[in-house]
Structure 1
């Protein structure tokens, strides 16, 4: 299908006068564009930890000091994105294994809704809270209340945990910059060393800017002459009109050879719209959802930097259990953390089950059960 789109785009390129709006463009490039050729061999070498098949282990391999108390209550903060819904589902199995009572609280996307939701969480007085992507700056007053009540918060994809007095997330700022570097290197490798790229940034996600930072640095290293444009896609458009914005941008910038998306939700439904528009630009995103896997398996989406979302949620819960029990722990180095949970996925190595997705450690459930003294 990508080959057919390429042919259609080449035929249409000379005949169409393409006009569109691409708000948020930033010509902060690694170079000046033109006939640039990126270093594909260097990209492939860098990507080996994310493309190999070596054995991996859970990030913290010390057992809990005591079994989890029956009836332990945990609140999950739901930010309302499709990936957030997947992560909620991924918490069900470990909660059942441990007898944990889960409570899902939808936090909304504006300051007032978040404040109301977090006040509700304080009233629930759970044993712990899991926060995925919600910036703590929006609930600073409640953090003080949680601290006074002895309620720990474990976070995933939150960039300012330490600054707000919360435990360090395993996938914090440096982890996200590393992911950005992997995205850029994969874009170079998958495009065969193209010279013109675009990064689709979601400003509301703090991790998106860090991915962009990592992508810029790696692109400058692999191809000083390459161009990396930046286009903002509002979070409100994820799951609705994000793909339309991408199509409009690529129409307005026909020199673009490959795109990078901070979140793979941008690509959901995009291949069909690219085909209808006669465009043949491939791309890669991160935080793969089941529809992305379906597109990759069908050959419609080129690639994704997959995160084992099951392993991620079991890891966040593992951290929370240690915080609840007052047990010390230490994260491994950043590259180990990043390469353990993520992998470059394309049609040749796509998972059979798009709902399960990428599995980093096949027997992770047994390993966690042993660490949690639950077997």
Structure 2
């Protein structure tokens, strides 16, 4: 601009974390119209929040299948401990719609190696898994490739174009970075730009590192008076119930902290009771990424401020969509469903959480008619 002027650009983010300028605020240096950087940051954060405050109604895949889908295929779904059982109903519904067979194999996180071999012994045509770095199952993936079986994944950061045998990786780096950004921007708005944030996280999972980075970037860009730090814990600490104690210790050690961001639903258990027991519940606001039924009830009861809704049922249908395309020799769009954004929105009120609890899934499955939309793409509508 001209000397003595300046411009603040107000951005909106799509679900892939891509910025789009939606407004510009111009000010004259030294004039009464000069924009406070705190106010400008909150305005940018509010623009992000506004774009994720209603549930999307459309799936993000639009390419139809160009051939008749064969019947009788077998899908092996490797369901990890703690949270992966939530995917089961969607895998059941999607494979039933195709007249395919489903084998559900329960596994420990980072313990998929022998289960992949079991799946191959069961005659699996496709194997699905979530949140597992392919480097931990490299030998088994080579065995799958030799057998002509692909791996269909979500919630990891490896790109299918970089690894033979990896066919999909939906909700990867860009999507979880965006989820972290949306979460953080709502904290900025809710706190009036004053949040001193502790994020409890398990950085052993690459996608959770991306989520943390998305949150950190939002705070850096839009909240000069906020602070953000990570409390890194391990999966073992989560499984043995040590996380609430670690959080209490962190808050007691730093009296300036006033907000807790929880990386995913399975980490919330025991935290709220621990905060109350330590008389910290009035001081600390709590929000989380990825609601489940339990956290939705906590939202209804007013014990957490808000959450983002991560449609795990939708991602199961998305993995099966990749299998369908492979079965007819059709390319999976978006580099293996990496780039299509995962539908996402914020639960801003207890009423919005209750509305999700009142659904048959007691959760947000994804767009309301997603089953019919996917089936139509597959020629099963």
With the length of structure 2 as denominator, give the TM-score of the two structures. 0.80
Q: What is the rounded CA distance, in whole Å, between the counterparts of 1:72 and 1:257 in structure 2? A: 52
Deviations 1:284-343 (A, max 9, x none): 2222221111111221121111112222211121122212322124239x99844x5211
Displacement of 1:211: 0.8
Contact 1:187 1:283 (8 Å CA) reproduced:
no
> More relative contact order in 1 or in 2 (CA 8 Å, sep 6+)?
1
Q: What is the rounded CA distance, in whole Å, between the counterparts of 1:151 and 1:251 in structure 2? A: 51
2:359 matches 1:352: no
After superposition, residues 39-58 of structure 1 pair within 5 angstroms as: 39-52=41-54, 56-58=57-59
2:330 matches 1:327: yes
Q: What is the rounded CA distance, in whole Å, between the counterparts of 1:117 and 1:283 in structure 2? A: 37
**1:68 is matched with which residue?**
69
Q: What is the rounded CA distance, in whole Å, between the counterparts of 1:276 and 1:46 in structure 2? A: 35
- Structure 1 gaps of 5+ residues are 1-35
**1:90 is matched with which residue?**
90
Shifted more, 290-299 versus 39-48: the winner is 39-48
2:378 matches 1:372: yes
Contact 2:187 2:195 (8 Å CA) reproduced:
no
Q: What is the rounded CA distance, in whole Å, between the counterparts of 1:369 and 1:294 in structure 2? A: 32
After superposition, residues 202-221 of structure 1 pair within 5 angstroms as: 202-221=202-221
Displacement of 1:128: 0.5
Residue number among 294, 302, 310 corresponding to 1:291 in the alignment: 294
2:126 matches 1:124: no
Contact 1:287 1:305 (8 Å CA) reproduced:
yes
Q: What is the rounded CA distance, in whole Å, between the counterparts of 2:196 and 2:254 in structure 1? A: 10
Displacement of 1:108: 2.2
**1:164 is matched with which residue?**
163
Displacement of 1:122: 2.9
**1:227 is matched with which residue?**
227
Displacement of 1:351: 4.4
Contact 2:75 2:100 (8 Å CA) reproduced:
yes
Shifted more, 236-245 versus 270-279: the winner is 236-245
RMSD between aligned residues:
2.4
Q: What is the rounded CA distance, in whole Å, between the counterparts of 1:41 and 1:116 in structure 2? A: 51
Q: What is the rounded CA distance, in whole Å, between the counterparts of 1:115 and 1:336 in structure 2? A: 28
**2:149 is matched with which residue?**
151
Q: What is the rounded CA distance, in whole Å, between the counterparts of 1:143 and 1:120 in structure 2? A: 13
Q: What is the rounded CA distance, in whole Å, between the counterparts of 2:339 and 2:203 in structure 1? A: 27
